[in-house]
Structure 1
């Protein structure tokens, strides 16, 4: 088979690594990197650490409004798909890169493989929600990470070629966890003690595009006494500067540049708690058995909410502080498969 894989953002590089490893044993894969994440700390380092082959095409689309960004991707991806004539186009998750790849393939009658299909937050104000719904409805193969995702698709009358194969991010974590412990020096670099800090990641538009939300989040952070480590997303940094919000006044806050995958796994595994608005980080916290506090009103990863393994707080200062301070002891069941999702994906495509 000849498959074109569309990637564009940090979480997609992580998800693609284990699948590409299995796929390339027998088949041809061409990687198209849209450049949606273009900072070297958000892109290049992941290809290097995860041993993902260098992209065959790099579109350098960069940031921009949704229409401009997606439109430029549509034009450039279409040229590649027409020229390469693949058997399938494979997309991951819920970014603008995902939607652009799926739309191009569907209009050119190339079957779409959607990995991480069926997720729903039921909040269409999130651009990711619109992207994932539209992608699911034009896909030929829908590989779901959980039973909940399969159920969501059934509710939308999508039942053909729908499979719960587990979560490819779990594959990646299991494969790279020991490597991270061996190679990462991020804790010593920043003078961090194991289980001596909270890890923060904030980047979702619903938070960063709302100055009041960011004010509330920073107010809560200023009242958390323990050490806090924040690998800050470039977009978040830009937004905070535009709002004139100062991080220097927050006690015990270490703001650092974005980190690679191995360093991020190390930071997650050794944190007291993780405070995030990222879907991927919610899951990685669950995989690492580290309690999570999610700065959103909904989550597509409802399995993580059991036994307060993950607590939704929105941007309410009091709820955020209470959740960070709450003592929890979740049991963490195997809700995301057995760590062999990648092999199952390739086997199912081959069979059909």
Structure 2
């Protein structure tokens, strides 16, 4: 009598195909690398100082917070969901920390509480989505307004300043004796951890499986609701961490902090090759996309292009990022 080894839904998602050199070099990550090189050459023409090692490292100060939020957003979008409230969760966490500091609480205790607030905000998103069975788009659009409003209620229009040097080092400092910024190291450590979580654990396989066929996952015994809640809690945690890094970088906190960042974060994820409809994507693609967008923004800043025009560019890149995978996908299937 033959024995049959059960195959999980997550394992059935990926079908093995023979290795193809053409498909390998058509991988989305290679496109990201080529685009980074092209934009780098263009920026070199704009400013001869672009390739200076110190300038290259300093450039990363400007987009590490977006990168931190893009990591869990990758997993959320792969699962077939979305989180529009990330930037507002950042603002709410930053405002909480600033309010506590303003009233004499240690900045480190405030940072810990802010982290908890971010996680709670993510948990609330996940619970509303899974318990009430509402679309993630609608729920997080609501909490987008709720969390930003709470930040305004806590701080009003008056910024909080005067953070201690030991705290601002997190956002402004360098690793001793090197030009490597502390925020870059924080991002790279987080990127490795999220990469391992998505690509090397059963939890990550469940994320892919849910994005491909949520109903099949339920029939296979996957606790879909639990996975979703965890994903949103991770998103809240990274939004809070980004709030800490950002407040430390600016040395102050305002309620309009990170306004519009949700667009940049989603653009980074989709441009990195994650399917906006779920089921496909890689953490490496998102990481490369974060650097690509950061270099583009840095180049526009060198050219002193107005912020409104930069916003138009970001929106255009998002549209192209949604359309281009369909073209590349058809080429890879040949």
Report TM bin, short chain: under 0.3
Q: Which has the higher contact order (CA 8 A, sep 6+)?
A: 2
Structure of greater Rg? 2
The normalised TM-score by structure 2 is: 0.25
**Structure number having the greater helix percentage:** 2
The normalised TM-score by structure 1 is: 0.24
**Structure number having the greater strand percentage:** 1
